[in-house]
Amino acid sequence: MTEQTLDLLGHLDQTKNFKALIYGEAGTGKTCSLRTLLNTGQKVRFLAAENNALSGIAAALRLWQTEQKKTGKLDLDPEQFAVMIPTRPKRGIADIIKNQTKFLDLALDKQTTTADPERRKYTRYLEVLKSTSAFVDTTSGKNFGNVEDWGADTTFAVDSLTIICEAIVQGTVGGKLATTQQEWGIMQKTVIEFMRFLTEDLRCNVVILGHPTKETDQLNGGQKIYPANLGQALNNLLPSYFTEVLYSYRRGKDFLWSTQHNQAVTRQTVLPLSNELQQDFAQFFKGN
């Protein structure tokens, strides 16, 4: 190799980061695997958009402390780990009754054309966006600033893609009972916009957690497992934005990642091709 080529490779090694999408069924270790980031020296900023995300990350931290007893280090540096819960609009039984009443009163054709006058109250996705510009730790109240200012020493973890998609639907159509094809197009573009922001515009590492969905492979036929999103148009597009797409699964007592699952969509850049990877983020930093 020429000296110029070596200089270029050295520069790329110093600036590279990873953007990972990890998806799988509930109970396959997705959230719990984030604890291994703490052993790499990474600062972890966890956005708990999923309703059950806090219980998952609490279990992860308890397991981390148990593992740390072997080293004698039990305290978690408050600067190393922070959690933010985006504001969630309250939903009560009155809202459910109102929607059911509309369903009974409106003809089917009106359900797609009648706008929801209260659409602006569905702000969950907007709150997720705001959290990226001012990440405030729920426990300490400390503001860790704008995610765009974080470097490769920090990992921004978001739980989950599924909830972000649901929030985008609500923010687009509100409480309307049915959606049009045009609205689906708008929502899909919104998902793409946010995913591109996370994977292309940020200097920090990014981990997005998600759930699986099984659909017919439009190219080859048969059933294929995709990260759950907003429709078939995004099934193969979303994974292309990430450096790593890992399928998370459990086999007995073992929690594993796959980069070559025979049914699930996967992708790997840093990690090796394997169906039996240990769920340890240290593998992302080998050779860095």
Q: pLDDT tens track of the chain, all 288 residues?
A: 555 544 444 434 444 689 999 999 999 999 999 999 999 999 999 999 988 888 999 999 999 988 888 776 667 788 899 999 987 767 677 776 776 676 566 666 665 666 666 666 778 899 999 999 999 999 899 999 999 999 999 999 999 999 999 999 988 887 776 788 888 999 999 999 999 999 999 999 999 999 999 987 766 777 899 999 998 889 989 999 999 999 999 999 999 999 999 999 999 999 999 999 999 999 999 755
Residue 120 within a domain = no
The type of residue at 120 is R
Which domain does 187 fall in, by range?
17-92+126-173+182-285
Interacting residues of 81 by C-beta distance below 8 A, sequence separation 6+: 38, 43, 44, 46, 61
Say if CB 236 and CB 265 are below 8 A apart.
yes
Residue 117 within a domain = no
Residue 100 within a domain = no
The type of residue at 97 is I
Residue 105 within a domain = no
pTM for the structure as a whole:
0.86
Residue 168 within a domain = yes
Residue 108 within a domain = no
Phi, psi of 66 (to 5 degrees): -60, -45
Say if CB 165 and CB 50 are below 8 A apart.
no
Residue 197 within a domain = yes
Residue 8 within a domain = no
Domain count, the chain: 1
> Which CATH number goes with the domain that contains 254?
3.40.50
